[in-house]
Amino acid sequence: MLGIMSTAAKLSTSTIGSLPPAASPPGYDRSALTPSIVHIGVGGFHRAHLAVYVDQLCRGGNTDWAIVGAGVMPSDTKMAEALGAQDHLFTVVERSSEGHEATVVGSMVDYILAYPDPQPLIDKIASPETQIVSLTVTEGGYPVDDATGEFDPESSNAGPESAFASIIAGLTKRMNDGVGPITVLSCDNVMGNGDVTALAVKAMAAAAGDGLAAWIEQNVSFPNSMVDRITPATTDGDRQWFAEQVGIEDRWPVVCEPFIQWVIEDDYAGQRPPWESLDIIITEDVRPFEHMKLQLLNAGHSVLGFSAHLFEIELVHDGMADPDVLSLVRAFLDREAKTSLHPVDGMDFDAYIESLLERFANPQVRDQILRLAMDGTSRLPKFVLPTLRTHLANGGPTELAALCLATWCQCLIGISDSGNEIEVGPDLLMDDIRPKALASVDNPAAFLEFEPTFDDAIRGNEAFVAQFEAALTSIRENGLRSTIQNAVGS
Q: Say if 399 falls within a structural domain.
A: yes
CA terminus-to-terminus distance, the chain: 48
Chunked in runs of 10, what are the mean pLDDT values of the chain (490 residues)? 63 92 92 98 98 98 98 97 98 93 97 98 98 96 92 96 98 98 97 97 96 98 97 94 91 97 96 97 95 97 98 98 98 98 93 98 95 96 97 98 98 98 95 98 98 95 98 98 94
Q: Say if 294 falls within a structural domain.
A: yes
Q: Does one domain contain both 276 and 296?
A: no
Spatial neighbors of 98 by CB under 8 A, at least 6 apart, are none
How many domains is the chain partitioned into structurally? 2
Please, how many CA atoms are within 13 Å of residue 476, restricted to the half-sphere of its CB? 19
Spatial neighbors of 102 by CB under 8 A, at least 6 apart, are 22, 23, 24, 91, 92, 93, 94, 242, 246, 248
At 448 the pLDDT is 98
Cβ 204 vs Cβ 162: under 8 Å: no
- The helix, strand and coil proportions of the chain, stated in percent and rounded to the nearest 5, come to 50, 15, 35
Which residue in 442, 437, 439 sits closest to 424, CA to CA? 437
End-of-domain residue from the set 253, 284, 315? 284
At 1 the pLDDT is 46
Q: Does one domain contain both 352 and 382?
A: yes
Sign of CA dihedral 190, 160, 156, 303: positive
Cβ 91 vs Cβ 106: under 8 Å: no
Q: Does one domain contain both 297 and 171?
A: no
Coil vs helix vs strand at 104: strand
Spatial neighbors of 41 by CB under 8 A, at least 6 apart, are 70, 71, 135, 136, 137, 138, 141, 163
Q: Does one domain contain both 212 and 328?
A: no
Q: Does one domain contain both 325 and 295?
A: yes
End-of-domain residue from the set 250, 284, 318? 284
Cα separation, 360 vs 357, in Å, equals: 5
pTM above 0.85, yes or no: yes
Cα separation, 139 vs 379, in Å, equals: 6
Q: Say if 2 falls within a structural domain.
A: no
Which residue in 229, 241, 236 sits closest to 100, CA to CA? 241
Domain carrying residue 333: 288-489
Sign of CA dihedral 10, 11, 14, 15: positive
The CATH number of residue 269's host domain is 3.40.50.720
Q: Does one domain contain both 347 and 217?
A: no
Which residue in 258, 198, 265 sits closest to 226, CA to CA? 265
Cα separation, 490 vs 336, in Å, equals: 13
The CATH number of residue 468's host domain is 1.10.1040.10
End-of-domain residue from the set 284, 300, 332? 284
Write out the H or E segment, with its range, that includes residue 181.
Answer: none
Q: Does one domain contain both 252 and 347?
A: no
DSSP state of 225: E
At 108 the pLDDT is 98
At 5 the pLDDT is 45
Q: Does one domain contain both 296 and 277?
A: no
Write out the H or E segment, with its range, that includes residue 249.
Answer: strand 248-249
Q: Does one domain contain both 324 and 415?
A: yes
Q: Does one domain contain both 301 and 393?
A: yes
